[in-house]
Amino acid sequence: MLDTAVPRKTLQGQRELVDRRQKLHARSRSLLIAVHGEHTVAELKRQFAALGDVPGILEELGALGLITADARAPAAGAAAAAADPELPPLQLARAFINETAVATLGLRAFLFTLKLERCYTKAELTELLPEYRRVLAKAKGEEFAASMAARVEQILRRA
């Protein structure tokens, strides 16, 4: 995929978020959740560098038919993504937090994910964000943590 391409979820990708039929690795699922047709491949590579081979993960998601990449501007991609059905924003934010924590921390994420399981409202998720950012920063650095927290805040704004 070209760095200037703007990936977005396909209908099959939207369904995968709910059905989990592909049994994706946590890193792949995290990236699938994050793809909204708003950021270029280059931006995703920078933001998700701590997950590993981001271009490889994007290619895998594309090969599975879960995402497609458009050469159009990100703003047009965002409008198209907004029209796509997907998980409700709160559920999507919880899934994103869970998947990125597990992908980043592995078994060390257990206690954090127990706290996450008790979050049911936007306010509760927002209250958990500082700890989410702290545990990610400890494992992968402040830039990665800030990027992931910003992504969660972006999802929560739609809630």
Would you list the domain boundaries of the chain? 6-83, 89-157
Of 30, 27, 33, the closest CA to residue 13 belongs to 33
Mean pLDDT on 91-107:
87
Contact 18, 90 (CB under 8 A): no
pLDDT above 70 covers what percent of the chain? 90
If pLDDT is split at 50, 70 and 90, which confidence band does 86 have? low
> In this model, does residue 124 exceed pLDDT 90?
yes
Q: What pTM was computed for the model?
A: 0.65
Tokens of 86: 């997907």
User: What are 18-76's pLDDT values in tens digits?
Assistant: 888 988 988 898 899 888 888 899 999 988 888 889 999 999 999 999 999 877 554 44
